[in-house]
């Protein structure tokens, strides 16, 4: 696949160009690709809002992700 990244005047990516042959192949492989939406369902928005509210009330519960990775590594190495 020979894609091209489209950039704005600051060099930031704003889009992607996919050759039509590659797009057709993607549509064959993933028939629903054109129906995929970027909208988040309301039930997911509610969960995110609840979690953000919980974080705001208890910011001390936030821990760096590296601690989780380290704990998981210890369990795997046992």
Q: What percent of the chain has pLDDT over 90?
A: 60
Whole domain around residue 26: which residue ranges? 4-77
Q: What is the mean pLDDT of residues 25-43?
A: 86
The three-class DSSP label of residue 17 is strand
Q: How many residues in the chain?
A: 78
Q: What are phi and psi of 40, to 5 degrees?
A: -90, 130
**Based on the structure, what is the number of domains in the chain?**
1
What's the chain's average pLDDT? 89
How would you label 12-51 residue by residue, b for 16+ Cβ within 10 Å and e otherwise?
Answer: eeeeeeeeeeeeeeeeeeeeeeeeeeeeeeeeeeeeeeee
Is the model more confident about 39 or about 46? 46
pLDDT, tens digit, 9 for 90 and up, residues 55-71: 999 988 888 899 889 99
Q: What pLDDT shows up at residue 2?
A: 83
């Amino acid at each position: 696949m020979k894609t091209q990244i489209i950039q704005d005047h600051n060099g930031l990516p704003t889009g992607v160009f996919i050759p039509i042959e590659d797009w057709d192949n993607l549509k064959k492989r993933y028939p629903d690709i054109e129906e995929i939406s970027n909208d988040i369902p309301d039930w997911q928005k509610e969960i995110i809002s609840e979690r953000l509210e919980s974080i705001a009330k208890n910011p001390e519960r936030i821990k760096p992700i590296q601690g989780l990775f380290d704990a998981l590594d210890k369990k795997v190495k046992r």
